[in-house]
Structure 1
Amino acid sequence: MFKRTLGRSGIEVSALGIGGWAIGGPWFDEETGKPFGWGEVDDRESIAAIHCALDSGIQFIDTSDNSGAGHSERVIGQALKGRRNQAVLATKFGYVTNEETKLATGSNASREYIKSACEASLRRLGTDYIDLYQFHLGDYPIDLAQEVVDVLEELVTEGKIRFFGWSTDTTDRAEIFAESKHCTAIQHDFNVFIDNDAMLDVCERNRLASINRGPLAMGLLTGKYSEIVNVLDSKDIRQRNDLDWLTYFKDGVPSPKLTGQLRSIREVLTSGGRSLAQGALAWIWARSDVTIPIPGFRTVKQVTENAKALEFGPLTDAQMGDIAELLAVTEA
């Protein structure tokens, strides 16, 4: 099994994790009524997919307390009954949702809220500790970040969490958390379309895991979506066109620019018998030995395909060079 170390924690994990955003099911923005989820889900299939991941040697499971307004955590908790010791469990806090109404109502990073959010996640996950607890507010004011760190260190002392990290795409914020003893990971956007050499440098210098959200570009790097036809659920966030950070899809249609780039690198990514998704994961592993991609999933089939990427391992230096050259041409 291809494994990596979860930052300075020393915890050994599979080089591939699974991300629980999509299995949370629908939830919506309170103000606009627009979706934050990926559409309807089948909890039985989600649980079977988690079991498939564990049986395949994938033990790193990542989610957040706002995914499905807590539903993702509940599903993962059900799946891990009797198997908690087989998983390294990560979740996030900071965004406030109402579990009954399925509405996102804002954000909160006060000391009292963080403590209560942690307790709520523990209950939903059916566990008495969280391996990795991550701050979810990626653009939180830098001058207030130390207050969050202090609360997280308290939770470590109390035994509620083992380690913590920040889900952020800015290196200055990552550097602040990196100064703390029990920070072990930074989660950030990262895939063949969106490189982030500066964040990798922060993680490598500070012995932090680089946990990669969006490793398959919200599904675009699977090659399953048409450039013209919108086939997505009306409750799928990829249908939206009002979020600046939603760059892979607009109105349910993949970015023409990115699909063009994908065509140019498809042959390299699929060389050696890999699927597109497996090639995209292999690119991430080849970029740095601290990377741990966490592709989302909703089905056993998706988990099975992604798990097979572990058998192939990283791309070669030559393949990485070819991809860099091809992408440079499309950017010109």
Structure 2
Amino acid sequence: MLASDLSAIGHRPLGRSGLSAGPIGLGCWAIGGFFTLDGKPDGWGKVDDEQSIRAIHAGLDMGASLIDTADAYGTGHSEEVIGRALKGRRADTVVATKFGYTHDRARRALVGKDVSPGYIERACTASLRRLGTGHIDLYQIHVGDLTHDQADAAGETLEKLAERGAIRFWGWSTDDAAGAKRMVKFPHFVAVQQELNVFTDGPDMLAMCENNGLASLNRSPLAMGFLTGKFSPEMRLPDDDVRAAGHSWVRFFEDGRPRGDYLERLAELRELLQTGGRTLAQGALGWLLARSPNTFPIPGFKTETQVRENLAAMQMGPLPAAIMAEIDALLRSRPAGGDRPPRGR
């Protein structure tokens, strides 16, 4: 299903919540700064907190209202920066955060996973404090793979948090469409966060979201920056960047370098994505806006310039249906990559 008939400017409903938000949000993994997972860097290099705050303010001024983060990002630092940025502007935003990866703040390290009821309660309290808010609009399970028993226990706990007013609604960051569909039975479950971009489609999850009135938040909407077009074959990212750390789930880069098959595919898509004077990033976001009326791409950022470029895609609107059809035909003719498992980040 395409959404190319949507107006270029305006909010989209956040699933069945009754809330709405600007169609492109702010993904706040990168502004968390340095932290590790499995002993390897899981952040995006050095950050400047004041610059991060200016970038968030610019995004709000341009119509972004959905801000997505997690307690894992910088082991709480991203939430703290957002809390500072939203002082006096909390009413303008839909704040989404996640839980499930336990961390050692002193070491800036993720150390395990926990979705037990007691942990969820403690994690929510801690996130509320760091964010400086009385409630979380969308509280998301960060761990992508759960047993049915784990998922049900988490859902029951999240429903209690919603009834108490600590959270308004909740969701799950997962690429398991069947597992997510099981959660529809919970009344405050309104959103799924799935990996979705031009290189990595997710038709089963999108169909499930559309059929059940759920929002689809799109992580890695620019394929970890690959779809900005700024990478050349000889480039190598620094070792403190998650894309160079050697994580098996990083699919678009290898040994810190952009993968050749994806560079070739991007070259083939370049002209189509730049339709109407768009930059490559704006075209990639326009593809997501056209892919479904339920999508909310949440591109990451470290600078105000990146935020301004990304959010300008809202004024340009979804890619035209004819362009979407050409891209689809090209992608179907020779898929790139696809050999690495996604991860609920």
Q: Does 1:278 align with 2:282?
A: yes
- Of 112, 115, 122, which aligns to 1:116? 122
Any unmatched runs of 5+ in structure 2? 1-8, 337-345
Q: 2:268 aligns with which of 264, 268, 273?
A: 264
Q: In the alignment, residue 76 of structure 1 is paired with which amino acid?
A: I
2:244 aligns with 239
SS class of match (1:165): strand
The 5 A counterparts of 1:9-158 are 9-29=17-37, 32-158=38-164
The equivalent residue for 1:302 is 306
CA apart distance, 1:324:
1.2
Hey, what's the Cα distance between the residues in 1 that align with 2:293 and 2:246?
35
Q: Deviations over 1:125-170 (max 9, x none)?
A: 0001000000001012233211000000010011000000000001
CA distance in 1, matches of 2:335, 2:111: 39
Which whole-Å deviations, capped at 9, do the CAs of 1:181-203 have from their partners, x for residues lacking one? 00110000000101111000110
What secondary structure is seen at the aligned counterpart in 1 of 2:87?
coil
Deviation, 1:229, is: 1.8
Q: Is the 8 Å Cα contact of residues 115 and 150 (structure 2) preserved in structure 1?
A: no
Match of 2:200 among 194, 198, 213: 194
Q: Residue 21 of structure 1: CA displacement?
A: 0.3
Residue equivalent to 2:317: 313
Q: Does 1:177 align with 2:186?
A: no
Q: Deviation at 1:176?
A: 1.5
Query: How far is the alpha carbon of 1:220 from its aligned partner?
Result: 0.1
| Aligned equivalents of 2:72, 2:247: Cα separation in 1 | 20
Q: State the SS of the aligned residue for 2:41.
A: coil
Indicate conservation of the 8 Å contact 2:40/2:246, yes or no: no
SS at match of 1:181: coil
**SS of aligned partner of 1:292:** strand
Residues 41-85 of structure 1 show CA distances to partners (whole Å, capped at 9, x for unaligned) of: 000100000000001110110000000000000000000011111
Q: C-alpha offsets along residues 227-256 of structure 1, whole Å, 9 cap, x if unaligned?
A: 2220x232111002342x210111111121
Checking the alignment, whether the CA contact within 8 Å between 1:2 and 1:313 is kept in structure 2 is no
Matched, 1:8 2:13: no
Gaps of 5+ in 1: none
RMSD: 1.1
- Does the residue aligned with 1:8 lie in a helix, a strand or coil? coil
Greater Cα offset, 54-63 or 173-182: 173-182
- Report the residue type matching 1:164 in the other structure: W
Identity of aligned residues (%): 50
Moved more, 141-150 or 299-308: 141-150
- Tell me the SS of whatever aligns to 1:217: coil
Correspondent of 1:163 among 166, 169, 184: 169
Give distance in 2, aligned partners of 1:214 and 1:57: 21
What amino acid does structure 2 have at the position aligned with 1:111? Answer: P
SS of equivalent to 1:68 = helix
Structure 2 counterpart of 1:271, which letter? T
Provide the rounded CA distance (Å) in 2 between the counterparts of 1:46 and 1:172: 36
Structure 1 length normalisation: TM-score?
Answer: 0.97
Structure 1 position 10, deviation (Å):
1.4
Separation (CA, whole Å) in 2 of partners of 1:254 and 1:267: 20
Which residue identity is paired with 2:245?
R
Look up the SS of the partner of 1:7 in the other structure.
coil
CA–CA distance in structure 2, aligned partners of residues 145 and 249 of structure 1: 32
Q: Distance in 1 between matches of 2:235 and 2:201?
A: 28
Residues 95-152 of structure 1 deviation map (CA, whole Å, 9 limit, x = unaligned): 0112222011101111110000000000000001000000001012233211000000
Aligned pair count? Answer: 328
